[in-house]
A and B are shown apart, each in its own frame.
Chain A
Amino acid sequence: MSISKESLLHAYRTMKTIREFEERVHAEIMNGQIPGFTHLYTGQEANAVGVCAHLDESDTIISTHRGHGHCIAKGADVSGMMKELFGSSEGLCKGKGGSMHVADIDKGILGANGIVAGGPPISVGSALAAKIRKNGKVAVSFSGDGSVNQGTCFEAMNMAVVLQVPAVFVIENNYYSEHTHIDYAVGCNDLKARTEAFGFPVFVADGADFFAVHEAAGKAIAHARAGNGPAGVFAEQGRYHGHFVGDPQAYRGEGELENLRENHDPLKVFRQHMATSGELSEGELDAIDAEVMAEIEQSVVDAKAAARPTPEQVTADVYIQYGATA
Chain B
Amino acid sequence: MRTDPDVFLMGEDVSGGAGCDGEDDAFGGAFGQYKGLVKEFGRERIIDTPITESAFIGAAGGAAATGMRPIVDLMFVDFIGVCFDQIFNQMAKFRYMFGGKSRCPAVIRFSAGGGFSAAGQHSQAMYQVMTSFPGLKVVVPSNAYDAKGLLLSAIQDDDPVLFFEPKVLYQETAEVPDEMYTIPFGQANFVREGDDVTVVAFGQMVPKAAAAIDALAAEGISCDLIDPRTTSPLDEAAILESVRATGRLVVVDEAPPRCGLTADIAGLAADKAFSSLKGPIKQVCAPHSPTPFSPELEAAYIPNADKITAAIKATLA
Residues on A lying within 8 angstroms of B by beta carbon are: 35-37, 87-89, 93, 95-98, 100-101, 113-117, 146-147, 149-152, 176-187, 249-254, 256, 308-311, 313-315, 318
Inter-chain CA distance A206–B287, complex, in Å, is 48
Tally of contact residues, B, Cβ under 8 A: 43
- Asked whether B54 is an interface residue with its Cβ less than 8 Å from the other chain, the reply is yes
A37 contacts which chain B residues (CB < 8 A)? 116, 118, 122
| A311 engages B51 (CB within 8 Å) | no
**Neighbour of A180 across the interface among B17, B78, B82, B290, CB < 8 A:** B17
Indicate if the CB atoms of B16 and A315 lie closer than 8 Å.
Answer: no
B residues sitting closer than 8 Å to A (CB atoms) are 12-13, 16-23, 25-27, 48, 50-55, 78-79, 81-82, 116-122, 287-290, 292-297, 300-301
Decide: B79 and A115 in contact? CB cutoff 8 A: yes
Interchain CB contact under 8 A, A178 and B12? yes
With A180-B13, A250-B17 as known contacts, state yes or no: A315 contacts B289, CB within 8 Å: yes
Smallest CB–CB gap between A254 and chain B, Å? 7
Residue of A nearest to B299 (CB): A311
Task: Among B26, B295, B301, point to the contact of A250 (Cβ < 8 A).
Answer: B26
Known interface pairs A100-B122, A114-B122; A36-B117 also in contact (CB < 8 Å): yes
| A residues near B20, Cβ cutoff 8 Å | 176, 179-181, 184, 251-253
Q: Is the CB of A115 within 8 A of B51?
A: no
Whether the pair A116, B51 counts as a contact (CB closer than 8 A) is yes
Describe B's contact surface by its main secondary structure. loop
The CA of A250 and the CA of B247, in the complex, are separated in Å by: 56
User: In the complex, which of the residues B20, B79, B289 has the most CB atoms of chain A within 10 Å of its own CB atom?
Assistant: B20
**With A178-B12, A185-B18, A251-B22 given, is the CB distance from A146 to B51 under 8 Å?**
yes
Taken together as a complex, chains A and B put the C-alpha atoms of A310 and B301 apart, in Å, by 11
Residues in chain A near residue B116, CB distance under 8 A: 35-37
B52 with A179: CB separation less than 8 A = no
Point out the residues of chain B lying under 8 angstroms from A251, CB to CB.
Answer: 16-17, 20-23, 26-27
Once the chains are docked, how many angstroms separate the CA of A101 from the CA of B123? Answer: 13
Q: Is the CB of A180 within 8 A of B16?
A: yes
* C-alpha spacing A259/B56, complex, angstroms: 35
Q: Which residues of A contact B121 (CB under 8 A)?
A: 100-101, 113-115
Report yes or no: A179 in contact with B297, Cβ–Cβ below 8 A: no
In the complex, what distance in Å separates the CA atom of A171 from the CA atom of B24?
26
Decide if A185 touches B81 in the complex (CB within 8 Å).
Answer: no
If A37-B122, A115-B81, A251-B23 touch, does A96 touch B54 (CB 8 Å cutoff)? no
Determine if B301 and A314 form an interchain contact, defined as CB atoms under 8 angstroms apart: yes
Chain B residues with CB under 8 A of A310: 296
Q: How far is the CB of A260 from chain B (nearest CB, A)?
A: 13
| Cross-chain pairs A/B with CB under 8 angstroms, 27 sampled | A35-B116, A36-B119, A87-B293, A87-B295, A95-B294, A100-B121, A113-B121, A115-B78, A115-B79, A150-B51, A150-B53, A178-B12, A178-B27, A179-B26, A180-B18, A181-B19, A185-B19, A250-B16, A251-B23, A251-B26, A252-B20, A253-B21, A256-B22, A309-B294, A311-B300, A314-B297, A314-B300
